[in-house]
Amino acid sequence: MIFRQLVEPESSTYTYLFGWRETGEALLLDPVMETVERDLQVIQDLGLRLAYTLDTHIHADHISSACRLRVLTGCKVAYPAQDDLPCADIAVAEDRPLNLGGLRFHPLFTPGHTDTHHSYLLDQGGQERVFTGDALLIDGCGRTDFQNGDTAALYRSVREKIFTLPSDTLVYPAHDYQQRRVSTVAQERERNPRLHDGVSFPEFEQVMNNLDLPYPKKIDVAVPANLKCGDCPEDAVELLHKIGGKSPQG
C-alpha cells in the first residue's frame, strides 16, 4: 500500500491518498478544491492514476474537489449511500465496502457531527487504521450544532463504533488545528478531554452545549456545493488545459 497524508492549511483539512502498486490505482479521501493540482501531481509522481474519490460527509468548511477530479481524470466519485447524492457514482455503506486493489475500506456509520457521517476502517498488513472524519479528532471531536448534528448520536458513535476497535488502531482525523497527524484508539480513550472513558454523557453534552464556536464562514457556500459533489466549476476544462492539456497523470 502507498499512503500519504496531505494537508490543506486554510481549513486544516487532511486529505488521504491511498495507492495500490499492482493495479496503479489511487484513491483520495476528503479531497479539497484548493489542492487539486497538488494532489494530482503527487499521484503522478507516484506513478498512479486516480480511480476514486471518497468523502466522509458533506463538509461545511471547504468545497470537495470530487467533481472536478472526475472531470479531469475520469475517476469515480463515492459518497455514503445515506447522502443519496445524484452526483455520486458509487454509494458506500456498512454492508457495501469500497475496494481499491487489495485494500478494502469498511464504512462505519458514525452520525452526530452530521446525520449521515461515516468513518472508514482499513486493515492492511495487520495494522488497523480508522479515518474518523469529523466524528473523532485528536483530543476533540466535531461540533454538533448544524447539519442535523446530534450530541447524543456523536457520543454513541465514538463509544460504540470507534472506541470498540482494537486499542492500537491508528486514528486519522479529517482535521487538526495544532499540526498533529495521528493518534490511537487507546490514546483517545485515555486522554481525549471531551470523550475519554471517564466522561459521562451529561458531561459531554454540557461541553458541547457550551463550545460557543463561530458560525462556519464557508458553510453557506460549501454545503450547497458539496451536495453536488463539489459543484463542478465552469472553468474545469480551462484548468485541464492549464496543467498540460490532459490529466497530470498522463
Same structural domain, 72 and 124: no
Angle subtended by helix axes 36-45 and 66-73, to nearest 10: 50
Shared domain for 88 and 129, answered yes or no, is no
Contact, 104 vs 19, CB < 8 A? no
Indicate if 3 and 85 belong to the same structural domain: yes
Q: What is the pLDDT of residue 206?
A: 98
What CATH number is attached to the domain comprising 18? 3.60.15.10
pLDDT in tens, the chain (250 residues): 999 999 999 999 999 999 999 999 999 999 999 999 999 999 999 999 999 999 999 999 999 999 999 999 999 999 999 999 999 999 999 999 999 999 999 999 999 999 999 999 999 989 999 999 999 999 999 999 999 999 999 999 999 999 999 999 999 999 999 999 999 999 999 999 999 999 999 999 999 999 999 998 899 999 999 999 998 766 544 544 454 433 333 3
Q: Are residues 5 and 78 in the same domain?
A: yes
pLDDT at 232: 73
All three cell numbers of 73, joined, read: 481524470
Would you say residue 100 lies in a domain?
Answer: no
Residues 129 and 194 in one domain: yes
pLDDT score, position 14? 98
Strand partners, 104: 99
Query: Is 170 a domain residue?
Result: yes
Domain count, the chain: 2
Residue 104 lies in a domain: no
Question: Has residue 105 been placed in a domain?
Answer: no
Per the structure, the complete domain to which residue 202 belongs is given by: 110-213
Shared domain for 145 and 192, answered yes or no, is: yes
In angstroms, how far is CA 37 from the centroid of its own chain? 19
